[in-house]
Amino acid sequence: MNQDTFSRRTLLVGAAALVAASPLRALAQGAGPAIHVMKDPNCGCCSAWIDILENDGFVVTTEASAGTLLMRYKFDSGIPQEMASCHTGRVDGYMIEGHVPVADIRRLLEEHPDAIGLAVPGMPYGSPGMGPESEREAYDVFLIRGDGSTEVFTSYAAA
């Protein structure tokens, strides 16, 4: 009986250790940055953008929000009205508004400028989650400074 109790106890301790080590294992395997996205639960393009982030190694959590509540979140987080789009993410203290390409988010995190974040205003066709890149219209990714001013961070030509 002692041996059975010891075996069960060993099994339980081992299982607990595996569960506790799971986040560490994800970090060791190079899990990407964690981003939390506020979005309308029925928005297909937001979900497509999230899929692109996940496929590139980001750890994405989402929160359903819509209408006035979502707009208030954007503005309270420092997103100027003219920079608004359909979904808003927060990664490493930066706001990511709209269909911002993964490469620009990674560049932002690498360069770590003094800024609120990045925005792709509107929903340009061919931006990530908005149709094929091979047919994209020209658009800019803007860096939003702390004072609300913006500057072009990256320009994408029409394809």
pLDDT > 90? residue 19: no
| Domain definitions of the chain by residue range | 1-31, 32-156
> What would the pLDDT profile of 47-63 be if each residue is shown by its tens digit?
999 999 999 999 999 99
The two tokens of residue 62 are 């989402």
CATH number of 32-156: 3.40.30
Task: Specify whether the CB–CB gap between 30 and 57 falls below 8 A.
Answer: yes
Task: Kindly report the number of other CB atoms within 10 A of residue 107's CB atom.
Answer: 15
Supply the pTM of this predicted model.
0.80
User: Can you tell me the distance from the alpha carbon of 49 to that of 139, in angstroms, rounded to the nearest whole number?
Assistant: 16
> What would the pLDDT profile of 23-49 be if each residue is shown by its tens digit?
443 443 457 899 999 998 888 899 999
β-sheet bridge partners, residue 60: 35
- Mean pLDDT score, 109-135: 96
User: Can you tell me the distance from the alpha carbon of 73 to that of 93, in angstroms, rounded to the nearest whole number?
Assistant: 14
3-state secondary structure of 144: strand
